[in-house]
Amino acid sequence: MDTTRETDNFLFEGVTRGDVRSFERLFRAYYSPLCDYCQGIVGEETAAEDLVEEVFAYLWKHRETIQLRASARAYLYAAARHGALNLLKRRAMERAHSPRLAEFITYLQETEYSEQELSELAEARRALDELPARCREIFLMNCMEDKTYKEIAGELRLSVNTVKSHLSKAHRRLRERLGPRSGILFFLIMNYEL
């Protein structure tokens, strides 16, 4: 067996036990190669870096339940490929639905809102205003300004994981308060001044 493979698998086992040093060594060994690999698929450096960071964040979060079928290297590359292909699918869906979405936005801008819709928009605005300040700021940067985790982290001098944590908290609170329509309500807020 290849000694690199043995070392990587040993590090992976350390990660599953919660060993931070093993995680750091695995991260340092694979971060750049995985970024290059993802960039070859998605064609964008920032998106590739975000994908790789998500792979490692997932690995750490689910370290106790992940089981290797082949090798640590195979797992990491498969996870990165999966994330990159999902991103491409999302982009393709966005391109396919873009004309319809533009039509829908135009329709919304030209249509009067019902009393119930105005009430729901006001509730969504209140829910947004009640988020903790940093949480709201990060949510708005991501959802309204379409900034990536890395861009937000850089601007606010936070770690990418902190940004993800704030976004997760914001989405959870908004879903709890507004239910399944929270996404469309924020889309409407962007196109309507209360």
Q: 193 with 125: CB under 8 angstroms?
A: no
- Model pLDDT, residue 180: 62
Q: 20 with 63: CB under 8 angstroms?
A: no
pTM: 0.50
Taking the C-alpha atoms of residue 99 and residue 44, their distance in angstroms, rounded to an integer, is: 24
- Model pLDDT, residue 176: 82
Q: 166 with 139: CB under 8 angstroms?
A: yes
Digit-by-digit pLDDT tens for the chain (194 residues) are 344 777 888 888 888 898 899 999 999 999 999 999 888 888 889 999 999 999 999 989 988 888 877 788 888 988 898 888 888 887 776 666 666 656 665 665 556 656 666 677 777 778 888 889 998 888 888 876 778 899 999 999 999 999 999 988 988 887 788 776 555 555 555 544 43
- Model pLDDT, residue 191: 47
Q: Domains plus CATH for the chain?
A: 3-88 (1.10.1740.10), 112-190 (1.10.10.10)
17: its two tokens? 């036990």
43: its two tokens? 């064609």
Distances, alpha carbon 95 to alpha carbons 29, 48, 75, 105, in Å? 35, 20, 30, 15
